[in-house]
Structure 1
Amino acid sequence: MDVRDLRCLVTGTASGIGDAVARRLIDGGASVVSLDRNKPTADVTEHVEVDLADPSSIDSALEQIDGTVDAVVNVAGVPGTAPPETVFAVNFLGMRHLTESMFERINPGGAIVVVSSTAGFQWPARLDTHKEVIATESFEEGAAWFRDHPQQGNAYNFSKEAATVYTLAMGGAVREMGDLRINAVLPGPVETPILSDFEESMGKETLEGVRAFLGRHAEAEDIALPIVFLAGRESRWVNGATLVADGGITGAVSAGLVPAPEI
């Protein structure tokens, strides 16, 4: 994948998928500017500490980064075991705030990648609700909306539905901003340090059922590869799209071969 000499801003680099993405980008000749609460072990060019649940922290972090980038890669996220307001803040509001704060600093032809989740597969049933969510104009307004609208399902699923709908909706808008593109990767269960949190919030039996059907869960590298593709030059005509990277479980559910997980 052609990422040589690209400058990529990546969140969530300290562990799991974000760590794998950073390493794959660096191995391909890109430079990585890291944003995370913890320091990464990958050989990034620059690291800035950030709390994605706090818009002022995001603003401060971005002020410490000079110049422009070729890609913004939103990997950071928290599982459903965190408080609902934190889950929604990090997984959607913080991602959106950071992305939109960088619009004018992404080089022409650049990429935005959002890591959503197959846990957000029910977004079509709540599309009107998510249109309200993405119509909020600021982090604070979005947080107020969330407090005022008790959502169906759990906060993790809802946050990932919102991230998916945002990606689909923004393709045309970012194309007009210097020929940018935005796409999302939707992983299923991944062997990362927070897998046990997902087992707790979604049910261990549900995730074990996915493992049994596929033979294994994804490794972080399995998800990093499509993310890097979407950040790189070969994906120049992919925009406003979602790429499911779950080993085939969503397809099997859609075809009625296995029951939809109760999550």
Structure 2
Amino acid sequence: MDVRGLRCVVTGAASGIGAAVAEQLTSQGASVTALDLKAPELPVERFVECDLANPVSIEEAVNQLGSGWDVLCNVAGVPGTAPAELVMKVNFLGHRHLIELFFDRMNKAGSIVSVASMAGFGWPLRLEKIHELLATDDFEAGLTWLRENPITGNAYNFSKEVLTVYVMTMGLALAERGLRINAVSPGPVETPILGDFEETMGKENLDGVRDLVGRHATPADIARIVVFLASSDSAWINGVSIGADGGIGGAILSGLVPAPEI
């Protein structure tokens, strides 16, 4: 995976998967600018404060960044223990707003990589609603739609369902611009917010996944896939979400094991 010399922006670089992505990119010769609410502990070329729940903050951060970027890695996110509206703002609306502001700021053959989740595997069941939300024009219109269409169930799951479908629907459009967009969908990962997921999805559910596949993922496990999708080695991969869950996703989708109630 050759990322030497690539100019990369990483959201959520202060901890967890985002920190692992920033570390791996930097160690392999890329330059990394971190977008987050707080500065990462690991050294990066630049830190720009950004609140993905606030479109004005996103716009101000992007204006500071300028153009000429090769990679945008969207890793920042909040768990389902947060209020539902905040979950949707950060995990999808802010995510989309940032991506679309980057369209004209990226170099030819640029790569956009988002971290979704295996929790979004149920997107086919809500595809009509997801398309309605995706049809909104911007952050504020999306927020209005969400307030008029209250989420049933876990807001985190829905946020990742929407993100997954967004990535799939944008592949061809971005190919016309000479760009790519993909997602990585992890299962449970040993990060500081794992306890939040145990609270909202059920510790016994996540323990069951761990027992079936042998362990939870580490941030480095997921970061390697993000870095691969950022590199030119993945040049013919576009508009897909790659499962990174140790095999549990395939077992669920094929009916080998029942889907957990998360």
TM-score (norm 1): 0.98
Instruction: Give distance in 2, aligned partners of 1:86 and 1:162.
Output: 15
- Structure 2 counterpart of 1:233: 232
- Structure 2 counterpart of 1:217: 216
Instruction: Give distance in 1, aligned partners of 2:66 and 2:49.
Output: 15
1:24 aligns with 2:21: no
Q: Alignment RMSD, CA only? A: 0.8
The SS at the match of 1:19 is helix
How many residues are aligned here? 262
Instruction: Give distance in 2, aligned partners of 1:254 and 1:98.
Output: 31
Instruction: Give distance in 1, aligned partners of 2:251 and 2:102.
Output: 37
Runs of 5+ consecutive residues of structure 2 not aligned to the other structure? none
The amino acid of 2:27's aligned partner reads D
Instruction: Give distance in 2, aligned partners of 1:153 and 1:103.
Output: 33
- Structure 2 counterpart of 1:260: 259
- Structure 2 counterpart of 1:164: 164
Residue 166 of structure 1, CA deviation: 0.2
Aligned pairs for 1:1-263 within 5 A: 1-177=1-177, 179-263=178-262
The answer (yes or no) to whether the contact 2:67–2:106 under 8 Å persists in 1 is: no
The SS at the match of 1:136 is coil
The SS at the match of 1:217 is coil
Runs of 5+ consecutive residues of structure 1 not aligned to the other structure? none
Residue 63 of structure 1, CA deviation: 1.4
Instruction: Give distance in 2, aligned partners of 1:67 and 1:101.
Output: 10
The SS at the match of 2:150 is coil
Instruction: Give distance in 1, aligned partners of 2:141 and 2:68.
Output: 28
The amino acid of 1:118's aligned partner reads M
Instruction: Give distance in 2, aligned partners of 1:77 and 1:211.
Output: 22
Which deviations, in whole Å up to 9, do the C-alpha atoms of 1:73-126 show, x marking residues without a partner? 100000000000000000000000000001000100100111100101110111
Which deviations, in whole Å up to 9, do the C-alpha atoms of 1:218-255 show, x marking residues without a partner? 00000000100001111111110110000000111123
The percentage of counterpart residues that share the same residue type is: 60
Residue 42 of structure 1, CA deviation: 1.8
Residue 131 of structure 1, CA deviation: 0.6
The amino acid of 1:219's aligned partner reads T
Residue 66 of structure 1, CA deviation: 3.0
